[in-house]
Structure 1
Amino acid sequence: MDATRQTQHEPRTTTVVSGDVRLAVFEYGDPTAETILLVHGWPDTHAVWDAVVPLLAENFHVVTYDTRGHGASPLPGPKELFTLELLGDDAIAVARAVSPDRPVHLVAHDWGSIQLWQVVCRPSATEWFASFTSISGPNIDQAAIWLRGLAKRPTPRNLATLARQAASSSYIYFFLTPRLPEALLPKVGPRLWPRLFKATEGIDAPQPAATFTDDMVAGVRLYRANMLRSVLRPNPQRSTVPLQLVVNSKDIAMTPAMFADAADWTVDLTRVDLDRGHWLPVTDPQLVADLVTSYVLSRGGNDA
């Protein structure tokens, strides 16, 4: 491996301040190239993208960061510090810092996608974001409206769909229970997680971050700050940013039916349906890199 290639794969670590949190940011590749910003979900850190980053950094300026309360971006405090609005502000702060002169291309997984839906629906979103590739993460306001629609039309098919999604989302009820997740996750989470990953994805789980147990517990605040509000008072909005939606048929958390109304979520939709599981950045990094590269080039990213 030559020195230039090796440098592209070694992060340049910086810190971006956003409100109450100092976000750990990691940059790879040529900083003058088109920027791709990768955002992780729960209970991950930026490391969930480790196999994807070198594939993209050959041609792009690639940026990852630990979201608030996770990894090297710790944030003690109440659930009110983890609202979708604040998480969206974080994404803008990072985009401004790493690419002040042109919009970045967003790529996100799981809660990374969920949190970015809030910001790409803002009227000013296109000032900072050129495209959004969402993997296994819905707009939770739109998802709540979809669930309400099924409940209002209780046909056998709709009730079956509701039951499947309720089963897939059963872990959310646990997270919303006061004090129980904080008591149990540190004890059983590190032992159960590798087994769950192996059972659902068919491969061994990646080495967890040193902060894994803390991240599991901290992430509970994401659910408590946002889920009930979205279910009880959904605020339907459409993204002003072009969207590539990646839907995985074997996803244990997000059933494909949840994305049936995805065309209503954005002004510009490209949908990709795959026969894959939830952790696509880990199980199929080359596929993720290929999808992102193709989409970024189609949206005007011409530095590759």
Structure 2
Amino acid sequence: MKSEYISVPVSYGKISMQVAGPESQKAILFIHGWPDSHDTWSHQMEHFSKKYRVGAIDLPGVGNSDAPPQRKGYHIDNILPVIAAAIRALKSPEVHLVAHDWGAIISWVFASRPEYARLITSYTAVSGPHPALARENLFAKFKSLNPGKIIEGVQQAAKSWYIYLFQMPQVPDFIFNNFGRLVWPRALMQGGVPPEDPMLEASQDDISRNVVNPLNLYRELLQGEWIEMPTRIDTRLQVIIPNHDLAITPEIYSNVTDVAPQAQLHYVDANHWVQRSHPVLVNELIEKFIR
């Protein structure tokens, strides 16, 4: 795959985006999650660049993308304009948004707000729910007084233990800055990244750049202003839901069709990084959906 990296101007500097493929009517923008970078989409970039214009950004503070000067720059509201800038930089009339993990969480909000949703033709969420829908889903389970639902809520809360750890100042930053090569590859493999995956070969410097700044995503999620509940999402969307996700229970998506009745939900036998472990399956689902 022949590709290049371009700088996309944003309000506080620039973000880096890998672009490839011919100029075309259709383009695909890929958004990565935590704790990785645009490299997480290498299988998809290779596949889709054969006929579409494709782009994969590094989120703010990751890789060669500038970090916001203040922590509030990592609040979802302040990242939506970054995604909009990347979409415009692809210069295609039809842009399909595909996002994983934290990229998916952010992109759900992008797809649910009309002023941003008009910029995309479709949205594919991979291993990541809408933050407000997930919050409402979790709270409803605990308020239901139904033992089965409460157990589901406890299971999801247990899977999310690291979110609370990341609220601590400096401690997780110190761990990843000094012991990233010990912690990071093991976390990815537990989430389904194959042991032979080249993604696991990242250096300590790469891990620090990709992991530490975006810890503020988690801090802003709980400590920043909460994201509103959508009443209706009209964007054409599909959700790829791993049944064995290390971080997210499949049940957390159960209220998606309440606000997006047109959504296509695909439950697959995979772990969190399904785009790395099952690239052919993910590529087929994206191809069929955007076609």
* Interval of TM-score (by shorter of Structure 1 and Structure 2): over 0.9
Instruction: Please say if residues 244 and 270 of structure 1, whose CA atoms lie closer than 8 Å, have aligned partners that are also in contact.
Output: yes
Contact 2:241 2:267 in 1 (8 A): yes
What is the CA distance between 1:195 and its match in structure 2? 2.2
Partner of 2:23: 31
Partners in 2 of 1:72 and 1:234 — Cα distance?
Answer: 28
8 A Cα contact 1:144 1:234, kept in partner: no
**Change in 2 beyond 3 A, CA 1:202/1:132:** closer
What's the TM-score once normalised by structure 2's chain length?
0.92
CA distance in 1, matches of 2:260, 2:75: 22
Counterpart amino acid of 2:70? P
Match of 1:110 among 93, 96, 101: 101
Q: Which residue does 1:67 correspond to in 2?
A: 59
The residue that corresponds to 1:302 in the other structure is none
In the alignment, structure 1 residue 96 sits paired with structure 2 residue 88: yes
Q: Which amino acid aligns with 1:170?
A: W
SS at 2:122 equivalent: strand
Residue 192 of structure 1 is matched in structure 2 by: 183
Q: How do residues 1-304 of structure 1 correspond to structure 2 at under 5 angstroms?
A: 9-75=1-67, 77-99=69-91, 102-201=93-192, 203-204=194-195, 205=197, 206=199, 207-208=201-202, 210-229=205-224, 233-237=226-230, 238-266=232-260, 268-297=262-291
- Which whole-Å deviations, capped at 9, do the CAs of 1:222-243 have from their partners, x for residues lacking one? 111123446xx45111333111
Q: Secondary structure at the match of 1:115?
A: helix
Separation in 2 of the partners of 1:292 and 1:264? 23
Q: Is this contact kept in 1: 2:75–2:224, CA < 8 A?
A: no
Aligned counterparts of 1:109 and 1:12: Cα–Cα separation in 2? 22
Contact 1:103–1:127 (CA<8 Å) still a contact in 2? no
CA contact (8 A) 1:107 1:133 kept: yes
For residues 9-33 of structure 1, what are the alpha-carbon distances to aligned partners after superposition, in whole Å with 9 as ceiling and x for unaligned?
A: 1112211111113011111111124
Structure 1: distance between partners of 2:116 and 2:72: 23
Query: Partner letter of residue 252 of structure 2?
Result: M
Aligned partners of 2:55 and 2:272: how far apart in 1? 22
Give 1:265 shift. 3.8
Query: TM-score, normalised on structure 1?
Result: 0.89
**3-state SS in 2 of match to 1:201:** coil
Structure 1 residue 77: deviation in Å? 3.0
Distance in 2 separating the partners of 1:40 and 1:165: 22
Segment drifting more, 62-71 vs 121-130? 121-130
For 2:135 and 2:96, the matched residues in 1 are separated by 27
Whether the aligned pair in 1 keeps the contact of 2:41 and 2:275 (CA below 8 Å) is yes
Q: Is the 8 A contact 1:141 1:234 kept in 2?
A: yes
Structure 1, unaligned runs of 5 or more: 1-8, 298-304
The answer to whether the Cα contact below 8 Å between 1:78 and 1:221 also exists between their aligned partners in 2 is no
Percent of paired sites with the same residue: 26
Task: Tell me how far 1:147 sits from its aligned partner.
Answer: 1.2
Task: Using the TM superposition, give the Cα deviation of residue 126 of structure 1 relative to its aligned residue in structure 2, in angstroms.
Answer: 4.0
Q: Which segment is superposed worse, 273-282 or 146-155?
A: 146-155
SS in 2 for 1:26: strand
CA contact (8 A) 2:184 2:207 kept: no
Gaps of 5+ in 2: none
Counterpart-to-counterpart distance in 2, 1:131 and 1:155: 36
Alpha carbon RMSD of aligned pairs, Å? 1.7
Distance in 2, matches of 1:246 and 1:150, equals: 22
Q: Which secondary structure state, in structure 1, belongs to the residue aligned with residue 121 of structure 2?
A: strand
Write the distance in 2 (CA, Å) between the matches of 1:133 and 1:244: 5
Letter in 1 for 2:229: P
